[in-house]
Amino acid sequence: MSRVEFRVFATPAEVAEAAAEGFVAAARNAVAAHGQFVVALSGGRTPHMAYHLLRTAPVPWSQTHVFWGDDRAVPQDDPASNAGEARRALLDDMDGVTIHPMDCVALDLDAAARDAEAELRAVAGGPVPVLDLVWLGMGADGHTASLFPDSPALTETERLVVATTAPDGAARLTMTYPLLNAARQVTFLVTGADKAVALAGVQAGDPTLPATAIGAAQVTWLLDAATAR
Ligand code: 6PG
């Protein structure tokens, strides 16, 4: 059974502050409980604000493994790269952290997805690795990670990571519900008035919105006032 909490803040900056605080707490609890912290980051602009706060936060980086819930099939030096952006804004300056970016430039993205699954199991066990924390965003269409409305990836029950495409046809890699919903904690970082309708739909249980089916043990929505209006 999933525990769901909605927290509303006046500004995106306050959302980022709450996200960074939650990241530190999850990291320290995980390391105390089982010696490591396994986290999956998302893309998007809201997490980016939290990255700068985490640069000076007391995170046990040397016991931290960073994965990504999704990424775009571009090189890490591309501004669209979720892994590249997190590395430039934070991770490349954090001593001791272990990062596990997906192989987004592989010619065979299905093989890259399988490799990502194997890497997750090597770090967090299996058959379904339990991530300590997953950060997710949500698009105005209710997508989360790269799980888009009407996508075949939504009905995947076996694979933990799959190759998929965004509505614009851009190739992506994404974690699937079996992996995301096995996480101890999911935190949504959602800001902007353009998300208000999708949020209301998720709160009403609209099954056509991919974010609705995220049901980890603890799901915390960090929202700004514009989204939660
Ligand atoms: C991606 C993200 C995606 C993002 C949402 C929200 O790779 O695009 O993972 O799921 O979280 O699109 O993005 P914003 O936070 O920028 O609105």
What is the DSSP secondary structure assignment for residue 183, as one 8-state letter? S
Residue 105, token pair as written in the block: 């430039």
Closest CA to 175 of 54, 1, 45, 38: 38
How confident is the prediction along the chain (229 residues), in pLDDT tens digits per residue? 789 999 999 999 999 999 999 999 999 999 999 999 999 999 988 899 999 999 999 999 999 999 999 999 999 999 999 999 999 999 999 999 999 999 999 999 999 999 999 999 999 999 999 999 999 999 999 999 999 999 999 999 999 999 999 999 999 999 999 999 999 999 999 999 999 999 999 999 999 999 999 999 999 999 999 999 8
| Beta strands 133-136 and 37-41, pairing class | parallel
Cβ of 139 less than 6 Å from ligand 1: yes
Instruction: Quote the ligand 1 centre to 45 CA distance (angstroms).
Output: 7
Instruction: Quote the ligand 1 centre to 33 CA distance (angstroms).
Output: 30
Cβ of 12 less than 6 Å from ligand 1: no
Mutate to test the pocket of ligand 1, among 143, 151, 165, 199 (most ligand atoms within 8 A of CB): 143
User: CA torsion 53→55→57→59, rounded to 10°?
Assistant: 130
Q: Does 60 sit behind a cis peptide bond, omega within 30 degrees of 0 on the bond before it?
A: no
pTM over 0.95: yes
Burial class (CB in 10 A: 0-12, 13-18, 19+), 67: buried
Does residue 178 contact residue 210 with C-beta atoms inside 8 Å? no
The fold of 3-224 is: Rossmann fold (3.40.50)
What is the helix (H) or strand (E) element at residue 39, kind and residue range? Answer: strand 37-41
Residue type, 165: T
Does residue 197 contact residue 151 with C-beta atoms inside 8 Å? no
- Distance between CA atoms of residues 163 and 114, nearest Å: 9
Mutate to test the pocket of ligand 1, among 51, 134, 138 (most ligand atoms within 8 A of CB): 138
Cβ of 164 less than 6 Å from ligand 1: no
Instruction: Name the residue with tokens 């900056």.
Output: 13
Cβ of 185 less than 6 Å from ligand 1: no
Cβ of 84 less than 6 Å from ligand 1: no
